[in-house]
Structure 1
Amino acid sequence: MSTTTTSQTPESEGPGRPARLIQNEATTEIPVHLLFRDEPDPVPPALGPAVVARRQGTGEQPRFRRPGPVGPRAAPEVDPDLVERAARVLPGAAGLLAGVCGAAGCAVNTWWAGVLPPLAVRALRLPAYAGAGLGPAQWAAYAGAGALGLFGFGGLARGRTGRAWVLGLFGRYRGTVRRTGLLWVNPLVLRSRVDVRLRHWRGEPMPAADGNGVALRVVVLVVWRVRDTARATLGVEDHETYLRECVEAALARVPVEAAGAARGAAGAAGDALTRLVAADAGPVGLEVFSVRPVRVEYAPEVAAVMTRRRIAALDARHRASVLTSVVDSVEDTVARLTMRGLVDLDDRERKALVKDLTVAFCSGRGETGP
């Protein structure tokens, strides 16, 4: 007795479709628009190409997106509340008056205590007074008069043209003094003198490069001044060092032509350097007027090679100019002889004459110089 097993095809499947090999197989239709839909970039474009995430169950492959243009470089951030403002000071006469009053108070208290020498009493024509000696009242009067005198004379300061005082009290900015003459400033505050005049700075040779990447050494002349004393003093550790580093950074970004280049290229490099340095130094209270290269030379490691190359270029230019002059002279001589009918030359004779004239002119140029 034989048993025959017949496999039946499900009704949902057509006659031409093969049977499923996996019992739990499931087919999901993928909408076409899902394969080409973009998602927001998880990283900013400036950090590199963004990869669109793979969607689970859709079969979509990750795709790379071309990074967008990088935005302008952000300026250095400085405390927005750190802005120069005028400090509260008094005229110098007030300090002198307070100091004199303190000294006079000490002298009167000494006479009141009876410890003033008789010679000083007679010299000052003061009435004789026995006094009660140095007691608590006398010591308190001494302390008050002495403090008044110290505050009066200790706060005297002299303001000069082109100089400013940056005041700070317990680590807090208290203002800037730009006034001139005799002033009275609180003696408890710390004073930092700042030069606010128009200044020029000629630096030492700094590394740079030309348009072809050849190493150079450039000496620049920077004309600048301190515009905001608060930011220049408190915004950076040393504003002069910061300015020098800004110039070095600008030289690393701007190509500078070597010596002997056109003046227009040198002027364009100076304008570009001025814009970059002014943009970097502006947020810290420095105003840059110009940054100009005053001396450009090749770096020591390439100076010999570039000198030989320049000499070779000058020699080639000189030879080309001599050859052009000789050819023009030969052509003019042959044309004149032919036009005046002095000679009747065929092609062979013309070539020979041109050869002889060329040799003669070149020999003459070599003997007499250019």
Structure 2
Amino acid sequence: MYQEKIINPPSGYLALVLFLGLLATAIFCFVAEMFVFGSIILTLNFLLVMPGLIIVNPNESKVLTLFGQYVGTVKSDGFFWVNPFTSKSKLSLRARNLNGQQLKVNDKMGNPIEIAAVIVWQVKETAKATFAVENYLQYVNIQSEAAVRHLANSFAYDHMEDESAEITLKDGAEKVSVLLEGELNERLSRAGIEVIEARISHLAYAQEIASAMLQRQQATAVIAARRLIVEGAVGMVEMALDKLSQKGIVELDEERKAAMVSNLLVVLCGDRHVQPVVNTGTLYN
């Protein structure tokens, strides 16, 4: 409904020269005691010429409306003259940062987490930003929060919660940022807002489950380390038995092999130093 219309008004310097010329003429009329003509010229000068002068700074724009109708937007920086009866609204085109507040939401697996995002955005279409929404700044804040909540509900925190997940909030930062940016652009396009970049700035488990999740992560790390130790120990025991058999150092029956394997595994897998025991007898007494 609100398509942006960019206009290029005439230079304001010509209007400024006209303003100064009419002002000099009015002064001359007052000096010559032609008060009526001087008053008319002065009134027209301040009602028709001076109100039309506008200054547009770099990365700013002026949205013009005439009697409730959108006329156009001036985006070129400089000094211009426009219809003096138009209403002129300044709108910044500079990039802005939105440092979102920390939100407590549930991830895909139902775990409470804390999440926040940093969003870089700017006004792309001034007509939509001015007329399509009541307050585009408030619109950006609310829709950004809704997008972050929806993103958190769509993915698990990490692979421990969902091992089959291709994308998680913790490990898929780049992909999550791309998805968040796309959803924000879709939500904010109604207000003429373009999202330049969107990234997760804070991600953590909520306080009520943080300690439990930390213990779970520690337990997972211990299990992974133990699994690696056991795999290495089994390989070393197998190598030892093969070497003893190849070189014929000692002949071991099945019972003695089992005892040797047990002792080696205790030595290799234990987390404490073992105390050697000298056996002066035999395995059978």
Residue 76 of structure 2 corresponds to 179
SS at match of 1:90: coil
Equivalences for 1:201-280 in 2 at 5 Å? 201-254=98-151, 255-258=154-157, 265-280=172-187
Tell me if structure 1 keeps the 8 A contact 2:54–2:80: yes
Q: CA deviation at 1:345?
A: 0.8
Provide the C-alpha distance between the structure 2 equivalents of 1:327 and 1:240, rounded to a whole number of angstroms. Answer: 64
Residue 88 of structure 2 corresponds to 191
Residue 256 of structure 2 corresponds to 349
Provide the C-alpha distance between the structure 2 equivalents of 1:147 and 1:184, rounded to a whole number of angstroms. Answer: 15
Provide the C-alpha distance between the structure 2 equivalents of 1:259 and 1:301, rounded to a whole number of angstroms. Answer: 18
* Deviation sequence 1:95-119 (CA, Å, 0-9, x none): 2112202320221022101xxxxxx
Residues 185, 302 of structure 1: alpha-carbon distance in 2 compared, 3 angstrom cutoff: farther
Residue 331 of structure 1 corresponds to 238
Residues 209, 268 of structure 1: alpha-carbon distance in 2 compared, 3 angstrom cutoff: farther
Question: Bigger relative contact order, structure 1 or 2, given CA contacts below 8 A and separation 6+?
Answer: 2
* Deviation sequence 1:298-352 (CA, Å, 0-9, x none): 2233322222222222222222222222222222222222222222111111111
Tell me if structure 1 keeps the 8 A contact 2:157–2:169: no
Provide the C-alpha distance between the structure 1 equivalents of 2:50 and 2:103, rounded to a whole number of angstroms. Answer: 48
1:164 maps to 2:61:
yes
Provide the C-alpha distance between the structure 1 equivalents of 2:48 and 2:150, rounded to a whole number of angstroms. Answer: 53
Q: CA deviation at 1:85?
A: 0.9
Structure 1 letter corresponding to 2:142:
E
Q: CA deviation at 1:230?
A: 0.4
SS at match of 1:344: coil
* Deviation sequence 1:164-198 (CA, Å, 0-9, x none): 11122343322111121111234443322222244
Equivalences for 1:295-310 in 2 at 5 Å? 295-310=202-217
Provide the C-alpha distance between the structure 2 equivalents of 1:191 and 1:237, rounded to a whole number of angstroms. Answer: 17
Structure 1, unpaired ranges of 5+ = 1-79, 114-136
Q: CA deviation at 1:264?
A: 6.5
Provide the C-alpha distance between the structure 2 equivalents of 1:176 and 1:234, rounded to a whole number of angstroms. Answer: 13
Residue 222 of structure 2 corresponds to 315
Residues 325, 87 of structure 1: alpha-carbon distance in 2 compared, 3 angstrom cutoff: same
Residues 262, 319 of structure 1: alpha-carbon distance in 2 compared, 3 angstrom cutoff: farther
Residue 283 of structure 2 corresponds to none
Provide the C-alpha distance between the structure 2 equivalents of 1:140 and 1:308, rounded to a whole number of angstroms. Answer: 90
Residue 198 of structure 2 corresponds to 291
Equivalences for 1:19-98 in 2 at 5 Å? 80=1, 82-87=2-7, 89-98=9-18
Between structures 1 and 2, the one with greater helix share: 2
Structure 2 letter corresponding to 1:218:
I
Provide the C-alpha distance between the structure 1 equivalents of 2:144 and 2:239, rounded to a whole number of angstroms. Answer: 57
1:110 maps to 2:7:
no
Structure 2, unpaired ranges of 5+ = 160-167, 274-285
Structure 1 letter corresponding to 2:53:
L
Provide the C-alpha distance between the structure 2 equivalents of 1:265 and 1:213, rounded to a whole number of angstroms. Answer: 19
Report the TM-score, using the length of structure 2 for normalisation: 0.80
Residues 192, 207 of structure 1: alpha-carbon distance in 2 compared, 3 angstrom cutoff: farther
Structure 2 letter corresponding to 1:228:
E
Residue 359 of structure 1 corresponds to 266
SS at match of 1:191: strand
SS at match of 2:6: coil
Provide the C-alpha distance between the structure 2 equivalents of 1:241 and 1:357, rounded to a whole number of angstroms. Answer: 69
Q: CA deviation at 1:148?
A: 0.6
Query: How many residues matched?
Result: 263
Tell me if structure 1 keeps the 8 A contact 2:117–2:148: no
* Deviation sequence 1:50-73 (CA, Å, 0-9, x none): xxxxxxxxxxxxxxxxxxxxxxxx
- The structure that has the greater radius of gyration is 1
1:155 maps to 2:52:
yes
Tell me if structure 2 keeps the 8 A contact 1:210–1:257: yes
SS at match of 2:5: coil
Provide the C-alpha distance between the structure 1 equivalents of 2:170 and 2:150, rounded to a whole number of angstroms. Answer: 20
Structure 1 letter corresponding to 2:180:
L
Provide the C-alpha distance between the structure 1 equivalents of 2:248 and 2:169, rounded to a whole number of angstroms. Answer: 49
Residue 121 of structure 1 corresponds to none
Q: Give the alignment's Cα RMSD to 1 decimal.
A: 2.7
Residues 156, 204 of structure 1: alpha-carbon distance in 2 compared, 3 angstrom cutoff: same
Tell me if structure 1 keeps the 8 A contact 2:63–2:127: yes
Identity %: 25
Provide the C-alpha distance between the structure 2 equivalents of 1:333 and 1:311, rounded to a whole number of angstroms. Answer: 33
